[in-house]
Chains A and B, each alone.
Chain A
Amino acid sequence: MTIYVLRKLAFFVGAVLVASLAIFLLIRGAGGNVAAIVLGKDATADAINALAHTYGLDRPLPVQYVDWIMNMLSGDLGQSFRTKESVADLVTDRLSVSVPLALSGLLLGLIIAIPVGTYAARNVGRPSGALLALLSQIGVAVPVFWAGILLSVLFGVRLGWLPTGGWTDWTADPVGAVRSLVLPVLSLGLIMAAVLIRYIRSAVLDVMNQDYVRTARAVGMTRTQALLQVGLRNALLPIVTIVGLQIAELIGGTVIIEMVFSLPGLSRMILANVAAREVIVVQSTVMLIIVFVIFVNFVVDLLYGILDPRIRNSA
């Protein structure tokens, strides 16, 4: 197990380094003279040089890269050129919207997909199983933002039950905050569920055809008992992997849903700062998101090793 963990840890560090290099080059390579753009057309050359010097933007790119990484490691994510706010504060503010949205969306997706996927697997070849397969096939084809639009037409405009967009802060009005999140979470969760159902269905199908389930049935367990007592642990493996792989999808969905419902989450902050050429803010925020995704995948790999001895011993 130790070797397995070390291997996965090495991969985690390598992935973070490669990703950070890619992000840095992508943003800084295409960014032009950052200080000149931030200050606008009327800025004098002196002012541009002064700003560049203050933030160390006049140093060679490799030096800036190493400096950025070192600062991030020590917890300093940098600050905005204009408002002088620290990136850490900016991000923390936005997380109170984005994290509950993404997590509840994923949770709702799983709550729907696990029972429905299992049911679809147990009813393969029957009309109910085929209907569920068809529904999830259609759900996969629905763009998450269109689902958001349709749901807010139904529950926001026609029925008037929930707001179609906007946000009230948790501290000011907790109930209002929850109400603003219901439709976004529902859109995200339903689309996640459609994707997950297909994976869970095939994971359960795989398990149901294994010898150990047949053995369990032979010693007198019912189909449900065999599935729950013997099959579940084995079906968990692929499900855990899928959830790990879906994290990147989940974040993409969250980005779009925040725009549909005009929620002041991370994605709106990134878009606004991209437009304002706040390169430090953008590069640190995007890096944080990517590190988070890679970290989740690292945890999933570890879970995988814990759940299945064959994997940790073969690695």
Chain B
Amino acid sequence: MSTIAPTARPIRPKRRLQLNASLVVGVALTIGFLVIAIVSFFWLPSNPNIPVIKDRLLPPGTAGHLLGTDVLGRDVIAQLMVGSRTSILVGAGGASIALILGTITGLAAAAYGKIADELISRGADIMLSIPGMVTALVLAATMGSGALTTILALSAFFTPSFTRVIRSAALSVLQEDFITAARLYGRGKLFILARHVLPNIAGVMIVQFTLYFAAGILTEAGLSYLGVGVTRPQISWGMMLNEAQQQVGISSPLAVWPGLAIVFVVLGLNLLGDGLRDVLDPKLKRRTA
């Protein structure tokens, strides 16, 4: 067996090199982002929510306030650090709930007959055609804005994509011979799904989670920019951009840093997702989901 395996895999050195680059950069950016969020629980340059009027609107480079302060004298770095927590909480929270719901519905559609499949798939199609941003606006306004509402809205919009992807991945695994073998062996449906299907689609699930983690961060920033996302004392990068534009003006450096933070983090997660897809699932073509 072990002597056959190496020759069975085609060697494409040029392509492998490219993949690794995106994986490496993605991992580096993502780890940096996570570390900053963790550090923010133990150490902050100053309290990001307490106004210090004598220090208001300090320019970047001021001693003690490397990126300056906002209109109320609150340190920008401290705000950015606390903002990274919100991005993780909302982005990963929304993607996690969508992953759980999408796995349940996706597996059910793949394994429990034509009627279940038709109902779940058409339901997912319908939900996919509803514009998320508009509905999130209404949801936030009727339920009240906040991190929890934003997470719920995100998971509602993300779930149908997870359902679709997991359904089709599960369908192709269910056609394999080892599934037939397990069935002949007398294994039940749930056992087969948990023991044989889930491990084989874990790669697809991880990639999907990473990409939607990034999408969640972008959407959360947008909602908070509109004023219907998280509210202080929680801090969001989108909220910081809104405050910069409303209170100081767009040409202030305050309108630069949170934007850069969003770009780096979302880019990192997207690169990580693409890189993981190529490594974990070589059969799958490189394609944006």
In the complex, what distance in Å separates the CA atom of A198 from the CA atom of B271? 13
Question: Across the interface, which residues of B come within 8 angstroms of A249, CB to CB?
Answer: 131
Q: Are A26 and B226 in contact, with the CB atoms below 8 A? A: no
Tell me, yes or no, whether B158 is within 8 Å of chain A by CB: no
Q: Are A202 and B287 in contact, with the CB atoms below 8 A? A: yes
In the complex, what distance in Å separates the CA atom of A314 from the CA atom of B196? 31
In the complex, chain B residues 32-82 whose Cβ is within 8 Å of any chain A Cβ:
none
Tell me, yes or no, whether B222 is within 8 Å of chain A by CB: yes
Question: Across the interface, which residues of B come within 8 angstroms of A253, CB to CB?
Answer: 133
Q: Are A141 and B266 in contact, with the CB atoms below 8 A? A: yes
In the complex, chain B residues 226-257 whose Cβ is within 8 Å of any chain A Cβ:
226, 238, 241, 245, 250-251, 255
Partner-contacting stretch, out of A10-18, A52-60, A210-218, A223-231: A10-18
Q: Are B250 and A153 in contact, with the CB atoms below 8 A? A: yes
Tell me, yes or no, whether A294 is within 8 Å of chain B by CB: yes
In the complex, what distance in Å separates the CA atom of A34 from the CA atom of B129? 29
Q: Are B130 and A22 in contact, with the CB atoms below 8 A? A: yes
Tell me, yes or no, whether B171 is within 8 Å of chain A by CB: no
Q: Are A140 and B270 in contact, with the CB atoms below 8 A? A: yes
1/0 per residue, CB under 8 A from A, across B122-145: the answer is 110110111111110111011100
Given A11-B122, A138-B263, A293-B130, are A199 and B225 neighbors across the interface (CB < 8 Å)? no
Q: Are B255 and A153 in contact, with the CB atoms below 8 A? A: yes
1/0 per residue, CB under 8 A from B, across A145-174: the answer is 110011011001110000010000000000
Partner-contacting stretch, out of A84-92, A104-112, A266-274: A266-274
In the complex, what distance in Å separates the CA atom of A127 from the CA atom of B53? 51
In the complex, what distance in Å separates the CA atom of A143 from the CA atom of B18? 26
Question: Across the interface, which residues of B come within 8 angstroms of A143, CB to CB?
Answer: 218, 221-222, 225, 238, 259, 262-263
In the complex, what distance in Å separates the CA atom of A251 from the CA atom of B136? 12
Nearest A residue to B244, CB-CB: A149
Given A26-B139, A271-B137, are A149 and B132 neighbors across the interface (CB < 8 Å)? no
Given A252-B133, A290-B130, A293-B130, are A152 and B138 neighbors across the interface (CB < 8 Å)? no
Question: Across the interface, which residues of B come within 8 angstroms of A33, CB to CB?
Answer: none
Question: Across the interface, which residues of B come within 8 angstroms of A270, CB to CB?
Answer: 134, 137-138
Tell me, yes or no, whether A302 is within 8 Å of chain B by CB: no
Q: Are B131 and A141 in contact, with the CB atoms below 8 A? A: no
- Tell me the smallest distance from the CB of A12 to a CB of chain B, in Å: 9
Given A11-B122, A199-B288, A294-B129, are A149 and B142 neighbors across the interface (CB < 8 Å)? no
Contact residues of B: prevailing secondary structure: helix
Q: Are A251 and B286 in contact, with the CB atoms below 8 A? A: no
In the complex, what distance in Å separates the CA atom of A199 from the CA atom of B250? 32
In the complex, what distance in Å separates the CA atom of A91 from the CA atom of B280? 48
Partner of A145 from B125, B129, B241 at Cβ < 8 Å: B241
State which size class the interface on B falls in.
35 or more
Question: Across the interface, which residues of A come within 8 angstroms of B287, CB to CB?
Answer: 202
Nearest B residue to A206, CB-CB: B285
- Tell me the smallest distance from the CB of B215 to a CB of chain A, in Å: 10
- Tell me the smallest distance from the CB of B136 to a CB of chain A, in Å: 8
Contact residues of A: prevailing secondary structure: helix
Q: Are A164 and B250 in contact, with the CB atoms below 8 A? A: yes
Given A138-B263, A252-B132, are A271 and B126 neighbors across the interface (CB < 8 Å)? no
Nearest A residue to B221, CB-CB: A143
Question: Across the interface, which residues of A come within 8 angstroms of B271, CB to CB?
Answer: 137
In the complex, chain B residues 251-289 whose Cβ is within 8 Å of any chain A Cβ:
251, 255, 259, 262-264, 266-267, 270-271, 274, 285-288
Q: Are A267 and B137 in contact, with the CB atoms below 8 A? A: yes
- Tell me the smallest distance from the CB of B248 to a CB of chain A, in Å: 12
- Tell me the smallest distance from the CB of A308 to a CB of chain B, in Å: 19
Q: Are B226 and A14 in contact, with the CB atoms below 8 A? A: no
In the complex, what distance in Å separates the CA atom of A263 from the CA atom of B138? 19
- Tell me the smallest distance from the CB of B222 to a CB of chain A, in Å: 5
Tell me, yes or no, whether B214 is within 8 Å of chain A by CB: yes
- Tell me the smallest distance from the CB of B196 to a CB of chain A, in Å: 30
Partner of B134 from A11, A152, A252 at Cβ < 8 Å: A252
Given A152-B250, A252-B132, are A141 and B270 neighbors across the interface (CB < 8 Å)? yes
- Tell me the smallest distance from the CB of B15 to a CB of chain A, in Å: 9
Provide 17 A-B residue pairs closer than 8 Å at the C-beta atoms, listed in order of the A residue.
Answer: A18-B123, A18-B126, A26-B142, A140-B267, A141-B264, A141-B267, A143-B221, A149-B255, A157-B251, A249-B131, A255-B226, A256-B222, A260-B245, A270-B138, A271-B137, A271-B141, A274-B137
Instruction: Identify the 4 closest CB pairs spanning chains A and B, nearest first.
Output: A252-B133, A146-B259, A274-B141, A141-B266
B interface residue numbers (CB < 8 A to A):
14, 18, 122-123, 125-126, 128-135, 137-139, 141-143, 214, 218, 221-222, 225-226, 238, 241, 245, 250-251, 255, 259, 262-264, 266-267, 270-271, 274, 285-288
A interface residue numbers (CB < 8 A to B):
11, 14-15, 18-19, 22-23, 26-27, 30-31, 125, 130, 137-138, 140-146, 149-150, 152-153, 156-158, 164, 195, 198-199, 202, 206, 245, 247-249, 251-253, 255-256, 259-260, 267, 270-271, 274-275, 282, 286, 289-290, 293-294, 297
New A-B pairs, 14, CB < 8 Å, besides A138-B267, A249-B131: A23-B135, A23-B138, A140-B270, A141-B218, A141-B264, A141-B267, A143-B222, A149-B259, A248-B128, A248-B129, A251-B131, A270-B134, A274-B138, A297-B129
